[in-house]
Structure formats: C-alpha cells, structure tokens
Chains A and B, each alone.
Chain A
Amino acid sequence: MEETTILEVKDLAVSFQTFEGVVQAVRGVDFSLKKGETLAIVGESGSGKSVSTKAINQLLPKKNTLIERGEILFEGKDLLKLSEKEIQKIRGNDIAMIFQDPMTSLNPTMQVGKQIAEPIIAHKGVSKGEAKQKALELMDLVGIQHPERTYKSYPHQFSGGMRQRVMIAIALACEPKILIADEPTTALDVTIQAQILDLMNNLKKDLDTSIIFITHDLGVVAQMADRVAVMYAGKIVEIGTADEIFYNPMHPYTWGLLASMPTLDVEQTSLYTIPGSPPNLLHPPEGDAFAARNEYALGIDFYEDPELFKVSETHFAKTWLLHPDAPEVIPPAEVIRRKEKFRYLNSEKRMSKTVGGEAYGRRY
C-alpha cells in the first residue's frame, strides 16, 4: 500500500453548549488516514466517534458547537478554518459521507436518480444530460437493477438495503478521495449488510478511496478495517492495525469489548462484562475516564490521565499498564486466547503465508 497520508487530525477537541452545561464530546483526538486504507473507529454511543468525523466536514451545528482546539489537515488546508463557501467545495466532492439511516438522509420528495445526479451537477459543472448518464452508471455500479427504470423512483419505493445503495451512489458521485461511513449497515439485516460491505470493499479496491468507517460492531470492523481506533469518553484509547487490535489488544477497555462478545465457536458459560456505564462528559472524571469501570485500574489512573504508549510502529495504547513500572496483570481468558493466536500468526508469517482459517483457533 502506498504510504501517503491524505488526512491528518491533530489534537481535536469539540464541546457542545447545552442547557445543562458544556459537554466535552471530543477531548483531544489524533489520527491520520492514508491513501486507500480503511480506518475503523469503534466505541460506544457517546464516545465521540461521530462527532470527530462530522467535524471533518463541518457538519456539526454551528449554533452550539465549540471547536476548542486542534486542526484537521487535508491537502495542506486546515478544514476547521475554511468558510462555509470553501468547505462546500470539498464536502460531497473530495470528502463524502454515508449515514446510518438511509430513510431520513434521503429526500423523500425527490426522484432517487436526481438525488444521485445533484452532486455531480453541483461540483463538476456538467450538463443535466451528462449528469444523468453518470448517475445511471453509478446506480449500475452499486448494484441497483434496471437503472433506467428505477431512476424515477422515490425513496419509499426502495427497501432499506436499496436505499443504502442509493446513499453510496450519491457519496461516490464525485469520486471522493475520502469516504466517511457512519454506521452504514447498523439498520440493515445481516444478509443485506454482507452485500453492502462487499460492495464497499470492491469499490475501495477499484477507486482507491480512503474510508473512515464508524461502527460499534466489532465483526464488521474485522471484515473491513486495515487499521482500528478505539474511542472512549472522547479520546482514542488504542489505535493499531486490525491484527494488532484484535489479536494483541493492550488497553483494558479493548479487552472488555472483545471479551464481552459471544463467539460462535467457543463454549461460554457467562459473558464477560464491563461493569457500569460511560462517564458523563458534562463533568469528565479526573485521571483516566475509564478508571471507574476498569478492574485493572492502578492507583495512578484516578488522578493522572495516561498518555499513548507505543507498542509497535503502528500500535499505541493509552493505559498505565504499559508503563515500565506497572505490575503484570492477567487479561480475560478470551484475550489470552487471542494473544496466542497473534503469536501463532506472527510465527506463521515468518514461515509461510498460507493459513488455514479455523483450525488453530480451536486448538487453544
């Protein structure tokens, strides 16, 4: 993969003014996106994953949003400093978005074909006829059958999966460099989800688009992501390649997420749970925000927030457990099983490239 960075988010902090006070939704987030890669951002509701990405396109409500600090660099420009007019040239053109609910994000009174052609006319300055031609090609590309006939249909005539295909066609209309997909398959059935994910993966290969994929479904992450960022209470707590996050997780929150999912092939008597619920970001707790729910919390967690510790060139985790003076802890059984697999995969990579997917997972 080509290693050019296309987008860089530096120390982004976003707050919202509400009646109850200032909610610190994002509290200092750094990440970068390379050309042609898929970065997945995972986290619970309220962890700030959607807010961080909406800030990229300036889609947050102007009235009560405060960008506290940080910058978002795209092609040498800081997107946070652009005027509405300037960002409109980028939004939907270079950086496009797919949202969770295809019913509420499409215009119910406009023919779907026209909705796909609209951004092409707006951004590329082509004639209506050419835009329609392009729209028909896009509908074909995303797997909508008989585009000529369905061009004039309205969103309510489509099923959920078809509507999401329309959303993807609109997002791809201007061949964006970055595609931000915010829970694009959460509202869909598993079989439809599988089709949409395959479609996105194929399009990524063909068009070399970079994707930021936001989800809370770790299965989807495993299928889509090259790299994964785990967010908690407005901060990235762990970031690394998909293999590093799934097979060699370092942060207790990532452990909890992985261990609390039932797996299809291992017998379990009771599910591992992360106790309690996420902190209220009106008054973020002192120290590490996860400390109160963390059974591995150290004394220092309660008054000093850890920084990101380096695990490898690509893998960082925000936990004091990685400090050289930290005590050894034993992670949940599921995580130990995964770490075994990580060692196995790495030794295997050195020897040969072929792996028989299932067999060794059961051996442990």
Chain B
Amino acid sequence: MAEDIEERKRIVEIKEYKQYFNEGKKSEVRAVKDVSFSIYEGETFGLVGESGSGKSTTGRAIIKLGDITGGQILYKGQDINSIKRRKDLLKFRKSMQMIFQDPYASLNPRLTVKEIIGGALKVHGMETNSAERTKKVHELLESVGLNKQFANRYPKEFSGGQCQRVGIARALAVEPDFIIADEAISALDVSIQAQVINLLKELKEKNNLTYLFIAHDLSMVKYISDRIGVMNRGRILEVSNADELYIAPLHPYTESLLSAIPTPDPEAERHRVRTEYDPGYHHYDNHNGVGLHEIAPEHFIYCHEDEVPLYRKKRQRLLKKAKQYA
C-alpha cells in the first residue's frame, strides 16, 4: 500500500509555504505560518478549518492569485513563482481552475451564460469559430445538468444551485486537470448541495480531474475527499486519509472540530460529549524537532518528535475501539 502511494504522481507540492500580509508593518498578519502538503494526481484533497485558519489563502496561493511570502509551491514539478510571462501564465491557468463560494458574486451580471463560458474559451484560444464555440457551450451546459437553452440567459435568472453549475461549467470549459473548489457548496441549500456534490464527483471520474476541496462542513468533506488536511491558525495540524481521520482523529484540535459537528440524529445528540481545544497545545517555544511527523503511513501530525510514540499509541487504541463497534 505504502509503495503504491510513493509511485503516485504529485500534481501539487507545497513546501513550507508562508503568507504574511502587510509584512513589516504594525498591522502584519501572519495568515499562513508553515504549510507543507502534496496533492496526488486523481485524488480529492479536502482542506478544512475555521475561518481565519488560512485555508482559502492557501488555495489562492496555489492558483497564483498574489505572491507568496515564503516557501515553494510546485505545480506538476514547476515552481509557480517562476511563471512570469503572460503566455506561460495563460497555460498555467488553463490547466488549473477555481470554483468560488458565492455563485452570484463570481459571475458577471452583465454577461449571458454563453458569454461567460465562451469568454473562457476565447481567452485561451480554444474555439475561435463562433458557431463551434456555441456548440461547445451547449455541450458544457448539458454536462453540468443545465438546459442548453439557458445559454442566452443572465446569472440573475438562475437559482443559487444553477448558478453554481454555471460556475462549474466555466471552470470545466478550458479542460483543466486540477480544480480548486473554495467553499463551493456552502451557500447552497441542503437538497441542492447533494446535487452539486454528486455532479462534482461524476465529472471527476469522467474528466480525470484532481480536486482541492476547501470547506468547513466536515461531513461533506469526508464524503467527497480521499485525504484531508486540518488547518488551524496558519498551520496544518493533521493530514490523513479521510476514513482514518474520522475513526482515529489524533490531534486534539481535530477531535474538538469533529465533536462540534451536530449530526441529524437527536438520540446521538443527547449523548454527545464535546471536547474543547486549547490553542496553546500546538504552541511550541522551541521549534527544534517540531513539524509534521508521520505517525502511520500517510497520517501526519504537527507535533514535537518526542510526542510521536504517544500519537502512535493513541492511534492503535482508537482503531481497536472502532473495530469493536464495527
């Protein structure tokens, strides 16, 4: 198993990424202090955390919206910082697309759906012929479950779920390999969320995509992700495969986050025990030996190296307990 993973290609590699805003000024904000993780080709990587944890900042850095303060981000082996020329940037952006949280705010209200999706094709010089472009737009609309007659409508004529589908169609238009979905379903109603999630899953299979799925809704993240990274205060505290994270959450912050999600089950809610998290827990005065340590294959914890054996024991205990229930 572990060998398989070694051989899998990394599409994104983030190494000691740092992002400070207003650097050197009194108002300096250290949004991301130290983040390192990789995303393998063909997987869905979930990034969860509370507001202000730096998860969206990380997503924006990967797609090169703004310059990073420190560290290195590699996309398909290439340092994105070295992409400077417009031609290279276009190629980079064609390969990587983003779906945003607010479906209304991220679509130009003055353009029709055809112009929005067709615009992306035009910029990247994909379909120069107008008739062919229209045909492609119709195909894209149908692939996200929208009627092709909608092409001449404006965003305001759609519901939130439909708008989000348009946003997805626009992202897919340029045939990207990698898509960043930043809270793409948070603004939608429950019944519509399920529709969009199923659509994203289906498109991933069909088009061989890789996703970075940024969200705060942990149950949806678990459902769609292969691996999950948990962020808090500008650091990744735990990285693990999705199932294991829920069976054996090791870092106390992950535990508290999981214990805070209410489940649609009144009986379970009556017996829920909440764990509080003290952020002092991952504050180390001396940074020697502190970092992401591998507790088990593909399960990393931000801790001091002396704590590793403790986490290993904890993992064994939790896995044993989970087996008893199953």
Contacts and interface: CB of A to CB of B under 8 A. Distances in A.
A216 interface: yes
B108 interface: no
A19 to B, nearest CB: 13
B261 interface: yes
B187 to A, nearest CB: 10
Contacts of A217: 190, 262
Interface stretch (B14-22, B122-130, B191-199): B191-199
B267 A341 contact: yes
B92 to A, nearest CB: 33
Interface string A156-186: 0000100000000000000000000000000
B198 A270 contact: yes
B203 to A, nearest CB: 13
A221 B185 CA distance: 20
Contacts of B162: 277
Interface string A342-364: 00010000000001011101100
Contact of B262 (A189, A197, A270, A271): A197
Given A44-B189, A44-B190, A257-B190, A189 B264 contact: no
Given A246-B266, A256-B191, A359 B277 contact: no
Nearest to B271: A357
A261 to B, nearest CB: 6
Given A246-B265, A277-B159, A359-B325, A271 B194 contact: yes
Given A219-B262, A222-B269, A355-B267, A274 B191 contact: yes
B234 to A, nearest CB: 15
Contact of A218 (B198, B201, B258, B264): B264
Contacts of B267: 243, 247, 341, 345, 355, 357
A265 B325 CA distance: 11
Interface string A308-346: 000000000000000000000000000000000100010
Interface residues of A, number: 49
Interface in A264-293: 264-265, 268, 270-275, 277
A261 B219 contact: yes
B219 A264 contact: yes
Contacts of A361: 265, 268
Question: Which secondary structure dominates where chain B touches chain A?
Answer: helix
A183 B101 CA distance: 19
Nearest to B195: A273
B317 to A, nearest CB: 17
A194 B260 CA distance: 6
B262 A44 contact: no
Among B161, B262, B274: residue with most chain A CB under 10 A:
B262
Interface residues of B, number: 44
A273 B198 contact: yes
A242 interface: yes
Contact of A193 (B191, B260, B265): B260
B263 A189 contact: no
Contact of B194 (A190, A246, A273): A273
A202 interface: no
Interface in B172-197: 189-195, 197
A345 B216 CA distance: 32
Interface in B146-173: 159-162
Contacts of A246: 264-266
A194 B51 CA distance: 15
A191 interface: yes
A272 B216 contact: no
B64 interface: no
Contact of B219 (A44, A194, A263): A263
B262 A223 contact: yes
Contacts of A355: 267, 271
A22 interface: no
Interface in A33-51: 44-45
Interface of B: 50-51, 159-162, 189-195, 197-198, 201, 216, 218-220, 222-223, 246, 256-272, 274, 277, 325-326
